[in-house]
């Protein structure tokens, strides 16, 4: 009897100990959402193969650092969305448009390179704008949800559990091509005048996803457009003040900042309208700007260099292509060490830069409210 009492006490103490450890763990992760799936919407910054599946695929040297083959990602390796998926314990997202080896068990990616928030007409397609604008991506999601829910009852393989749509994280990273199209066709003040309509289209997309059951949103604002090497090259004699202290184009960054301000105001408004939604705003501009301004201390070489492509004296030969410059054939190959360069192809970021950015945003350092991505469902913190 004595022995059994001792044993009971031992077990009680052990149990209490386990409970304390567990409670401690629970407190630390009190808002952990156990996100079962990701639905992603956006442009080439998060396209994991959609554009390549729909149109002419991106060739080598894209993918060389991590995948070893082109995967349709505009990078030498992984994108921020890949690191996000990894941090949530989920596999890389399959592109909705990709019919080869796609697995939608843990979500789907509707992003396509060149996508805009605003639907632009076909005269823009020759400039790389995607016909899969944000409103189309939301339609595709609607069809995805309806059809997978139907087929799940027959065969679950590679399909998401319909119960997971309301628990999934809905990530949006789009706007860069709306700015690009603006800069190509309008003056900066004219551009800014179009923003209220563009931001309204964005809000409509969020509202539609909410109506389809989306609850947790993780929204990236747009990066410092004027720091893309394609924006900073080909300006041999800039007037004073044209570039900021890092060498980024100040006018384009100012337009991006105005866009982001209007986006953030709209997200704050949406929080009151979509009462059951958790809307986390992520200041991607600040994260990317922090990396570019501290390139050297963060292990990168020149802040505004790029790894692959030739962009000089008004000649643009894009990464992986070959062209002729003054009678000489130039192959736009990749640099010897992409891990030391922030920009992959003068527009998109390298695997190493994406890793840095993802690591800095995942923990909530750039989020409003300041929640980490694993807690981005927390409505309570959101209010």
Ligand X SMILES: *[C@@H]1O[C@H](CO)[C@@H](O)[C@H](O)[C@H]1NC(C)=O
Applying CB under 6 A, the residues found at the interface with ligand X are 120-121, 123, 185, 312-313, 315, 325-326
Which of 313, 380 has the CB closer to ligand X? 313
306 vs 46, 122, 203, 337, 339, CA distance in Å?
19, 30, 34, 11, 11
Catalytic residue among 334, 345, 351, 378, which? 345
Which of 56, 123 has the CB closer to ligand X? 123
Catalytic residue among 44, 51, 130, 343, which? 44
Which of 232, 233 has the CB closer to ligand X? 233
Which of 130, 378 has the CB closer to ligand X? 130
Which of 178, 351 has the CB closer to ligand X? 178
Distance in Å, CB of 375 to ligand X, minimum: 40
Residue 32 falls in the annotated catalytic set: no
Q: Give the strand order in the sheet containing 107-109.
A: 107-109, 38-42, 169-173, 216-220, 278-282, 367-368
Distance in Å, CB of 43 to ligand X, minimum: 18
Backbone angles phi, psi at 281, to 5 degrees: -100, 130
Which of 123, 157 has the CB closer to ligand X? 123
Which of 11, 315 has the CB closer to ligand X? 315
Distance in Å, CB of 198 to ligand X, minimum: 12
Residue 44 falls in the annotated catalytic set: yes
Distance in Å, CB of 118 to ligand X, minimum: 9
State the Cα angle at 195 between 190 and 196, rounded to 5°: 120
Distance in Å, CB of 127 to ligand X, minimum: 10
- With contact defined as beta carbons under 8 Å apart, do 248 and 227 qualify? yes
Distance in Å, CB of 193 to ligand X, minimum: 13
Residue 311 falls in the annotated catalytic set: no
Distance in Å, CB of 318 to ligand X, minimum: 15
Which of 305, 365 has the CB closer to ligand X? 305
> Helices 188-211 and 250-273 meet at what angle, rounded to 10?
30
Catalytic residue among 220, 281, 289, 348, which? 348
SS (H, E, C) the chain: CHHHHHHHHHHHHHHHHHHHHHHHHHHHCCCCCCCCCEEEEECCCCCCCHHHHHCCCCCCCCCCCCCCCCCCCCCCCCCHHHHHHHHCCCCCCCECCCCCCCCCCCEEECCCCCCCCCCCCHHHHHHCCCCCCHHHHHHHHHHHHHHHHHHHCCCCCCCCCHHHHHCCEEEEECCHHHHHHHHHHCCHHHHHHHHHHHHHHHHHHHHHHHHCCCCEEEEECCCCHHHCHHHHCCCCCCCCCCECCCCCEHHHHHHHHHHHHHHHHHHHHHHHHCCCCEEEEECHHHHHHHHHHCCHHHCCCCCCCECCCEEECCEEECCCCEEEECCEEEECCCCCCHHHCCECCCCCECHHHHHHHHHHHHCCCCEECCCCHHHCCCHHHHC
Distance in Å, CB of 325 to ligand X, minimum: 5
Residues labelled catalytic? 44, 345, 348
């Amino acid at each position: 009897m004595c022995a059994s009492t001792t044993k009971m006490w031992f077990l009680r103490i052990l149990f209490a100990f386990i409970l304390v450890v567990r409670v401690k763990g629970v407190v630390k992760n009190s808002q952990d959402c156990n996100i079962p799936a990701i639905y992603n919407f956006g442009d080439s910054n998060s396209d994991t193969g959609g554009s390549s599946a729909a149109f002419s695929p991106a060739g080598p040297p894209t993918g060389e650092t991590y995948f070893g083959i082109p995967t349709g990602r505009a990078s030498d390796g992984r994108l921020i969305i890949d690191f996000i998926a990894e941090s949530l314990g989920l596999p890389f997202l399959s592109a909705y448009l990709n019919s080869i080896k796609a697995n939608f068990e843990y979500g789907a990616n509707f992003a396509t390179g060149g996508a805009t928030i605003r639907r632009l007409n076909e005269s823009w397609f020759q400039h790389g704008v995607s016909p899969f604008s944000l409103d189309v991506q939301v339609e595709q999601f609607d069809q995805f949800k309806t059809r997978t829910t139907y087929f799940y009852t027959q065969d679950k393989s590679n399909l998401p559990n319909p119960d997971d749509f309301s628990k999934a994280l809905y990530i949006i990273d789009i706007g860069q091509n709306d700015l690009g199209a603006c800069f190509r066709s309008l003056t900066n003040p004219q551009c800014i005048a179009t923003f209220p309509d563009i931001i309204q289209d964005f809000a409509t997309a969020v509202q539609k996803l909410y109506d389809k059951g989306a609850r947790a949103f993780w929204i990236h604002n747009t990066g410092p457009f004027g720091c893309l090497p394609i924006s900073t090259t080909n300006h041999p004699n800039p007037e004073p003040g044209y570039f900021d202290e890092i060498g980024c184009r100040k006018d384009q960054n100012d337009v991006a900042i105005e866009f982001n301000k209007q986006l953030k105001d709209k997200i704050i408004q949406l929080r009151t309208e979509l009462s059951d939604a958790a809307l986390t705003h992520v200041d991607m501009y600040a994260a990317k700007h922090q990396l570019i301004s501290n390139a050297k201390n963060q292990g990168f070489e020149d802040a505004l260099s790029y790894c692959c492509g030739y962009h000089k004296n008004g000649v643009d030969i894009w990464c992986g292509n070959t062209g002729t410059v003054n009678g000489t054939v130039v192959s736009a190959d990749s640099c010897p060490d992409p891990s030391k360069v922030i920009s992959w192809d003068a527009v998109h970021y390298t695997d190493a830069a994406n890793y840095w950015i993802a690591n800095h945003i995942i923990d909530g350092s750039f989020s409003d409210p300041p929640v980490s991505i694993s807690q981005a469902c927390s409505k309570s913190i959101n209010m």
